Copies of this chain bind each other. A is one copy, B any other.
Amino acid sequence: MNETSVKSAAHLYPVYIGENLRHQTDHYLSKSYSSVLIITDETVASHYLSDVQESVSQETVYVHVIPAGEKAKSVDTFYQLHTKAIEYGLDRQSLIIALGGGVVGDVAGFVAATFMRGIDFIQMPTTILAHDSSVGGKVAINHEQGKNLIGSFYAPVAVIYDVGTLHTLPDNEIRSGYAELLKEALLADGDLYQSLIMKDLSSLSNKDLADKLLKGIEIKAGIVGIDERESGIRQHLNLGHTLGHALESLLGYGYRTHGELVALGLLFAFRVSEKTFSSQLPYEQLYTWLKSNGYPFKLPFVEPARILSKMKKDKKTLRTTIQMVLLKDIAKPALVEISDEDLLNYLHDFQKELEQRND
């Protein structure tokens, strides 16, 4: 088991990573609680809920299972979880455990952030993608008009990451989480990036993955420790997300996984970076690796103007001009304003190029 820690405005919290941690949940609780509510989704419940339930010895342990998938990040699920918390008699000394991927972590975390104005919660990620979302204290639900538009900064009291839960992930979820790892490496660690892209996803071992996830978490923790509230360098974590989020919203949440579309966004950010800084990035290498690992290149066509309009609804948009995270080089990110006109051209060219290559 490895351990690292993350600094938030409110407190420093530990991140435990290793195998079989789900069988020892109690061991990682730093105090006793009046009651515990485990929130998880249907898929995760069938695999790991009983393990976690059995490993919590608090007197009163409740469970609520939400539907799997992005649609659970709705205001309806949010309100329903509050109803359950009230009905179970949770109070300010209670704990919420978010057992699952990013969706569960985000919605359960936002419930914890807002139930009686905030109670303790613990993230227990069960996906690769959630290595990213579980660290950094961002919690949120979606608005019909945009992802994560309603939320808070609210740090967990701990992250308990059992990498033994990752082997049940479907391929598209592995691709999704791995894209965020690629992003973290691109922001801060060229060697990690090369080691990530040297391997095919099908040949990853649990041990190998755990080591890389720890590195990814440390990169992210380093950034959010400096800038929790995203007024400065935390915005770099948005690399690949300007296009990724817009596509996710336009194609419908769940059409492809978050990270698969972020991966396309990374490729797009490479291209825009090259145009903006006249820099040389390993575009071909990334394209080839993504293609051979099954990332989606055949997407329904969406007009560049619609993509641009959607980008402007993103909460990172400032005074209505798009700011994109670009790379001057690997591990040298920069936040740059891109004019509407340039962006439309870049989108048009990018779509055209991918289409031609697909033929």
Docked-complex contact A79 and B89, CB < 8 angstroms: no
In residues 113-169 of chain A, which contact B (Cβ within 8 Å)? Answer: 113-118, 138, 140, 143-146, 148-153
CB-nearest residue of chain B to A140 = B117
Docked-complex contact B150 and A82, CB < 8 angstroms: yes
Q: Which residues of B contact A318 (CB under 8 A)?
A: 34, 91-93
Docked-complex contact A116 and B315, CB < 8 angstroms: yes
Docked-complex contact B34 and A146, CB < 8 angstroms: no
A83 within 8 A of partner (CB): yes
Q: Chain B's nearest CB lies how many Å from the CB of A230?
A: 8
A75 within 8 A of partner (CB): yes
Q: Chain B's nearest CB lies how many Å from the CB of A8?
A: 12
Whole-angstrom CA separation of A15 from B116 in the bound complex: 26
Contact with A83, one of B116, B143, B153, B230 (Cβ below 8 angstroms): B143
Chain A, residues 39-70, CB within 8 Å of chain B (1/0): the string is 00000000000000000000000000000000
Docked-complex contact B320 and A145, CB < 8 angstroms: no
Whole-angstrom CA separation of A318 from B116 in the bound complex: 12
A86 within 8 A of partner (CB): yes
Docked-complex contact A117 and B34, CB < 8 angstroms: no
Whole-angstrom CA separation of A91 from B313 in the bound complex: 9
Q: Which residues of B contact A315 (CB under 8 A)?
A: 91-92, 116-117
Docked-complex contact A82 and B149, CB < 8 angstroms: yes
Q: Which residues of B contact A2 (CB under 8 A)?
A: none
Q: Which residues of B contact A31 (CB under 8 A)?
A: none
Query: Nearest 3 A-B pairs (CB), nearest first?
Result: A116-B315, A34-B319, A117-B151
